[in-house]
Structure 1
């Protein structure tokens, strides 16, 4: 399995999975207005989706480390298609939470970074690993740039429910791409050599201060990106902005994140990752403050979206590369799943609080202020992270 094949297939899978996911904010108003639901009802479903993704991602990571990525990706592709179809056809908000929330969350756990990064960690040399993770994260950003306008066009031309059914067909393409990520040593009867049990790996990680600090910082990342991704379209519409401003703003986030994640992955090979992570979180808070202080206009929205896009998923390759560097790659999907669970708890809070505090106060101001404060917190907690590999023989060395 060549590096080009891994990056091409892994990048395409992340492009589809993350691209579909990033457009869900475009459905908030069409669905709530059509079904007579509140914004909190829709927000709760997307919040549950993020929580489901995070919690199930731990167990999906264990499966991927044990069985290989291929089987997990095929299963995730099928679940994604079923979840999107269920999202389109749900007659009640409860069923909507189960399909858009639980089912799609499980699908995303099996088709995104934890699983793909496990393949990269095992198959890409350590000298190129951070770069390769940056390339794959950039592919996810391209998915947002490409898919969000496509989803907006599908809603405009086919109505919101038919648009979701069309996306369900797109999600099945992931199963075909998974054939390019079948790893040697999985599924052929020969088990991979294990130098650590799952329990030993978990004990080692959860007693290591740097793992806890990375986990805390990733919570903030999830809170910020999902609040903006889901609620930005409605925030702009509340101020009288045309719908295309929201679509363009989310597309700009995806476009500039291509460059941001690629640069972060590159710099992660040359500089301490903890300093890069701290700088990213600091700049997010600064960009948000500037956006709230500036007069609101399409251009201020586009500038803010470009700035946040540059910082959007640039934490992903740096965080996962740090985990691989410190703990090795044998249980990378599982450990990455635990850290990502924290990210998704933050995502749950960002999405749900956005809807709850809007319904309570009639504005998003409190959530914006909370996002700024959390960014400062994340910048501080990433500074003490230690990137030295744990000295436990070959298990600590890169694959």
Structure 2
């Protein structure tokens, strides 16, 4: 296997392998945080709102800082950004393990890991991909990278459940911190060469790029739809396991930890196929229609899940359907951003639209815990997730997938 030298672009093979590994660890580890909800809150005597606030803050920090991290990666290169992300990820997990009070737990699990995720997930990796992969292969390659993150989710769920069962929550987090540190050497395999005039004819500044994006109606519609994506997936990731445990008084068969673990693993497994399919279909069909379809089918799946009698079988079917639709929005949304605005500021603009996703993630994680602690039920939040899916279906339909034509400058 041969990789590019410093004077050349990264090869497609290199970007897909090591970019895929980066998001495998980053997305995979975070996907299992819901398994730690009950063990940590029970051991420390905290309400679910405390754990929910930590994950909500993590997602909010991720969203708020992502455009800044993306802009830095676009301007100075991604290597230092990703290395810093790997360090912060490991420190955050270790801090969660060693925290004995809610404030420290929230700061390490929320602030540090939130910052780490800005540097190790899709926006930065897609920026590398956009700069090194031909336009005709871009949406396919984004689907491959997203599928790698999906594989990480599938892989890490049984790993994290095994660590919890054998070592307890604190030691499991310390082991995950060691695993997160592997992102540091992976970052060096994604070192981009310094290429001058990489975007000939485009002397656009960051300020101009931001103004252009914020004034574009399609960008604003994508941003609104992405809020819904974040709300739905993070609410389910964080609160599905407690939801099943709560309903085990009515449906005893769903209360075993293996049911929640299997469901989350199935989400990761089917997510592989969903994200890859989204990348493939996005090369041949309008991406806005694919996005609208994803959101409407999510709402239908949620309605079936909460309205039908609950069992391990219906839980697994729901997980498989949601898994197929889980991160399929990511390659499609980022490909539209690249198609409209080009790749010069792709990490920054992807981060900007992702900010809305993380606002939704914050709301899904936090209000899931907040409303449960006050009502004793997740029903209100499930219904909000359904209504938001119909909203996202509508707002994606008018998106225009046309490149902006700028005056060419010397």
Normalising by structure 1, what TM-score?
0.97
Give 1:213-362 correspondences, 5 Å limit: 213-240=221-248, 241-362=255-376
Match of 1:78 in 2: 87
Give 1:123-202 correspondences, 5 Å limit: 123-185=132-194, 195-202=203-210
Q: Is the 8 A contact 1:77 1:175 kept in 2?
A: yes
SS of the equivalent of 1:162 reads helix
Distance 1:320 1:97 in 2: 30
Distance 2:402 2:34 in 1: 40
Aligned residues: 392
User: 2:219 aligned with 1:211, yes or no?
Assistant: yes
Distance 1:173 1:60 in 2: 20
| Offset, 1:48 | 0.1
Distance 1:185 1:157 in 2: 47
Q: Is the 8 A contact 1:85 1:164 kept in 2?
A: yes
SS of the equivalent of 2:361 reads helix
Gaps of 5+ in 1: none
Distance 1:362 1:228 in 2: 17
Give 1:110-121 correspondences, 5 Å limit: 110-121=119-130
User: 2:364 aligned with 1:364, yes or no?
Assistant: no
User: 2:45 aligned with 1:49, yes or no?
Assistant: no
Match of 1:67 in 2: 76
| Offset, 1:173 | 0.5
Deviations 1:324-375 (A, max 9, x none): 0000000000000011110000000000010011011101000000000000
Distance 2:78 2:198 in 1: 13
Deviations 1:250-300 (A, max 9, x none): 000000000000000111111100000000000000111111121100000
Deviations 1:185-216 (A, max 9, x none): 16xxx686661100000000000000000000
Gaps of 5+ in 2: 1-9, 249-254
| Offset, 1:393 | 4.9
Q: Is the 8 A contact 1:185 1:191 kept in 2?
A: no
2:113 to 83, 92, 104: 104
Distance 2:373 2:23 in 1: 33
Deviations 1:115-143 (A, max 9, x none): 00000111001100000000000000100
Distance 1:368 1:342 in 2: 20
Distance 2:198 2:323 in 1: 39
Q: CA 1:134–1:192 in structure 2 vs 1: closer, same or farther (change >3 Å)?
A: same
Distance 1:346 1:267 in 2: 26
RMSD value over aligned CA atoms?
A: 1.1
| Offset, 1:249 | 0.2
Distance 2:346 2:90 in 1: 27
Match of 1:27 in 2: 36
Distance 2:335 2:64 in 1: 21
Distance 1:137 1:112 in 2: 10
SS of the equivalent of 2:204 reads coil
Distance 1:271 1:55 in 2: 32
Q: Is the 8 A contact 1:253 1:305 kept in 2?
A: yes
User: 2:396 aligned with 1:382, yes or no?
Assistant: yes
Normalising by structure 2, what TM-score?
0.94
SS of the equivalent of 2:344 reads coil
Q: Is the 8 A contact 1:134 1:262 kept in 2?
A: yes
